[in-house]
Structure 1
């Protein structure tokens, strides 16, 4: 496996290192393709990264922002990943609105919304229905149950192999999420994992033998780079 694991002293160092990696991959993508496509993670861990990026003099017109998953709530809801990212980053920079590609959660049927976002991705990347887009960078977190994006243990979303976007499920609540094959097509995937509550799941995810249905983060094995950034508290049992 092409997995790189870096253990940082604390969350501050983890965020600093994640920014270094992001800026490096951004520069390489713009030099190669004149644009950078990134899928953002929700949750509290990456928020300081987004806040830090807002102060950087970056070529925003060449950066396209997506989300790896989204709770099925309005964009103005406190649980919305989009809202968090807009407040931390997107509303604080001069970026064309066409460079921001949120998942539409206003559609009554989540499955219809998933299909709509899939079509949007196909059009943006110029790929056919049978092809997978290739993101330059996908940021992921990991829950203490081993889930990532909205790919939760023992849910149907884990086995979806012929779609880009599917409907995840958390305690009966629908969410939109990238599928495993779409994530694994990325040029670079970076996990940001902090806190002692992640130790048990990390041990299972990193085990040489294990059950991906119980610990979905095991399914993330991209064709490109796979980088795990952990703080010492999370990595203590590895």
Structure 2
């Protein structure tokens, strides 16, 4: 599979390394709060796209204990499993349970992926239409710019639901497409949309991520095999790693160790 390279107008990634997962999550929480407040102070609102998985859950739980201007926060998801909203595997359910149900955020500010449809393709189309309405655009060529895109990375190098050697990697026309993990459909933002974000924040923990990180940060490697390489935003790119994961970084990569 041939995948188009990211834009040449990309940010140099800022890499931060923390002693363990607890320190990583604490730092990520502080940075997310700071970015939310800065966006609201600058633009009067903050649009944040969330990731699923186990790593961000304690971050969301910490946000539930934070005082923020919730009516100015707009919440989206970078990807979602094609399961009912009440299913234990639902990213939206996890986030609601950990965070959103515990703060006074208006229901109209939450844009979950609709999965109660006849097909994942319909879900992807409806989510794209929902995003276009939220960002007040009538053209899919006028890309949304999220203030903050929160991402994780799997040990196979995937991010959002952009999995290795899948058709979603080659979708550059749409905002939202159907991802695929071992035959299980996912709904995901495309790399083209992710790369429009003002801030992209990867939060990655665990020694099992070392091989993928070595390829994501290699001078040359296959983006189809390690899709996180496709993430090269026009805005700021931060990678927050725990010490175990960071052992996979090539020696030449500059990093700040905390």
Cα offset, 1:12, TM superposition: 1.1
Deviations 1:167-190 (A, max 9, x none): 000111111000000000000000
Aligned pair 1:129/2:140, yes or no? yes
* Normalised TM-score (structure 1): 0.98
Aligned pair 1:42/2:52, yes or no? yes
Equivalents in 2 of 1:150, 1:80: separation in Å? 13
Partner of 2:215: 204
* Normalised TM-score (structure 2): 0.91
Task: Count residues in correspondence.
Answer: 238
Over aligned residue pairs, what C-alpha RMSD do you find? Answer: 0.8
Deviations 1:40-60 (A, max 9, x none): 000000000000000001111
The counterpart of 1:14, out of the listed 21, 24, 28, is 24
Partner of 2:244: 233
Cα offset, 1:25, TM superposition: 1.3
The counterpart of 2:231, out of the listed 205, 212, 220, is 220
Cα offset, 1:22, TM superposition: 1.1
Equivalents in 1 of 2:141, 2:213: separation in Å? 33
Partner of 2:256: none
The counterpart of 2:124, out of the listed 103, 114, 118, is 114
Partner of 1:187: 198
SS of residue in 2 equivalent to 1:201: helix
Aligned pair 1:93/2:103, yes or no? yes
Structure 1 unaligned regions, length at least 5: none
Cα offset, 1:13, TM superposition: 1.1
Equivalents in 2 of 1:97, 1:159: separation in Å? 33
Q: Which moved more, 1:138-147 or 1:18-27?
A: 18-27
Cα offset, 1:237, TM superposition: 2.9
Which structure dedicates a bigger proportion of its chain to helix? 1
Partner of 2:5: none
Aligned pair 1:162/2:178, yes or no? no
Equivalents in 2 of 1:53, 1:122: separation in Å? 27
Q: How does 1:48-63 map to 2 (within 5 A)?
A: 48-63=58-73
